[in-house]
Amino acid sequence: MATRIRKAIFPVGGLGTRFLPATKAMPEEAQAAGIEEFIFVTGRGKAAIEDHFDQSFELEQTLEQRGKTAELAALRRWLPRPGTAAYTRQQEPLGLGHAVWCARDLVGDEPFAVLLADDLILASVPCLKQMVDVYPEVRGNLIAIMDVPRDQTSRYGVLAPGRDDGRLVQVRGMVEKPAPAKAPSTLAVIGRYILEASVFDYLGKKNVGAGGEVQLTDALIPLIGGSPFHGYRFEGKRFDCGDKIGFFEANIAFALAREDIGTDVRDILRQYV
């Protein structure tokens, strides 16, 4: 069974242009984890995302003419190498599971990663790299998890946990967006996954789940028990960028963490609080 993770899917069809900085952060995280092929699942009217990951010759020329060598190097550093980025279209907004299924032919039969831009994670070691590093220990399917308040379980896929060593949790079951009283735990699935290609067989059935959409969590449930399946408690701070306050907080946190502007941002914030 392969343990090297070469390909990653980025479901970005539902994202607005305000998410482009977060969308940029996802390939950076994937690159740090050793991902070689970047598969973007886009939707109608999302051509800006493709342009976002292409060269901007006018900007590069301007930076070069002005001697902005550091900025030019930073701009080029995070771009996927030629031929490593692929795009496929999700013609109908049928849910996350359907978006992942749309990339099946580009993935093939090897294990792959999925990164959701709604979940931005600030960590000294990028979250996906943490998972790729631990993956050879467990193989099978590996999903990022975190503890959440019980009154928030209806926002997440939630684990029914088995053996738990504090870092890795054996997955015995999962429920998509359960009411707090019915949640099997408070261990929530966060938007980083390493999955076996067999999940495409279940996603291809296009069974409708919570919210009237094809849910990725629903397709993962049949995989439990058939091969190793674990949740991974990652180190870092997760921000829910699907929420306005979460998106705002993420911008502040990432700005404060930058060596070039962190001090200035902190001084600005002191003027308002």
* pLDDT tens profile 200-252: 999 988 877 777 788 898 899 999 988 899 999 999 999 988 788 988 898 89
pLDDT, residue 160, reads 95
d(CA 3, CA 132): 9
pLDDT, residue 76, reads 66
Mean pLDDT calculated for residue range 191-196: 96
Kindly give, in sequence order, each residue whose CB lies less than 8 Å from that of residue 145, ignoring residues fewer than 6 positions away.
159, 169, 187, 188, 189, 190, 231, 232, 233, 234
pLDDT, residue 182, reads 94
Mean pLDDT calculated for residue range 141-155: 95
Tens digit of pLDDT for each residue in 223-233? 998 889 999 99
Mean pLDDT calculated for residue range 124-149: 96
Task: Tell which residue, 232, 138, 137, 247, has the closest CA to residue 191.
Answer: 232
Beta bridge partners of 187: 147
Q: What domains sit in the chain, N to C, each tagged with a CATH number?
A: 7-136+191-242 (3.90.550.10), 244-273 (no CATH)
Mean pLDDT of the chain: 86
Q: Judge whether residue 119 has pLDDT over 80.
A: yes
Tens digit of pLDDT for each residue in 44-88? 755 666 666 666 666 667 767 888 787 667 666 666 676 788 889
Mean pLDDT calculated for residue range 151-157: 92
Q: Judge whether residue 142 has pLDDT over 60.
A: yes
pLDDT band for position 19 (cuts 50, 70, 90): low
Looking at the chain, the whole-number percentage of residues with pLDDT higher than 70 is 85
The CA-atom distances, in angstroms, between 240 and each of 16, 144, 146, 221, 258 are: 15, 14, 12, 24, 20
Q: How many helices (H) and strands (E) does the chain have?
A: 11, 11
- Cβ–Cβ under 8 Å, residues 31 and 78: yes
